[in-house]
Amino acid sequence: MDWDLLLRLAHIMGAVVLMGTGAGIAFFMVIVQRSRDPKLIAHVAGIVVLADTLFTATAAIAQPITGALLAWSLGWSLWESWIVVAIGLYLFVGIFWLPVVWIQIRLRDLAQQAADQGEPLPEAYHRLYRIWFAFGWPAFAAMIAIFWVMLARPNFW
C-alpha cells in the first residue's frame, strides 16, 4: 500500500467534505430562509447542525492531522512558507466557522420557539442570520485561497 497516496487521498477527501458540506449548508440555509416559515426553518436548521457536527467537524479535525502526516511523509517542513500560509488561512476559516456553528444552533432554536408559539421569527433570529450570512463569505474565500496555495505551493518568503 502506498502510504503517501493514502494520505493525499484522505487530505483531499477532507477538503472536499469541508467545502462541499459548507456550500451545501449555506445553500439550504439561504433557500429555507426565504420561506420565512419558522417550522420549516427549524427543521432544516436542525439538519444543518447535524451535518456540521457529523461531517464538517470531523473533516476539520482530520485536515490538520492528514496535512501534517503528509508533509512529514513527503519530507516537507511545516515551516515552508506555503504551508504556513495555508495553516494561517485554515485558522482564519476556523475563526469564522466556530461562531457560525453556535449561530446555527441559535437559529434552529429561535425558529423552533417561534413555530411552537405560532409566531413569526423574532428580530434576534434575523440579526443572527445576517451575521451567519456575512461570516460565510470570508470563510469561503479563504477556503478557495487554501486550495490555490495547496496546488501552487508558492514561495511567499
Number of Cβ atoms within 10 Å of the Cβ of 2: 8
C-alpha cell at 58: 470531523
* Residue with the three cell numbers 457560525: 100
For the full predicted model, state whether its pTM sits above 0.85: yes
Three-state SS sequence of 24-37: HHHHHHHHHHCCCC
Model confidence pLDDT, tens digit, residues 26-71: 999 999 999 999 999 999 999 999 999 999 999 999 999 999 999 9
pLDDT, the chain, mean: 96
Question: DSSP secondary structure string, 100-139?
Answer: HHHHHHHHHHHHHHHHHHT-PPPHHHHHHHHHHHHHHHHH
Average pLDDT estimate for 92-121: 97
Confidence of residue 1 (pLDDT cuts 50, 70, 90): confident
Q: How far apart are CA 60 and CA 90, in angstroms?
A: 9
Torsion sign over Cα 147, 156, 97, 124: negative
Taking the mean position of all CA atoms in its chain, how far away is CA 94? 8
Taking the mean position of all CA atoms in its chain, how far away is CA 43? 20
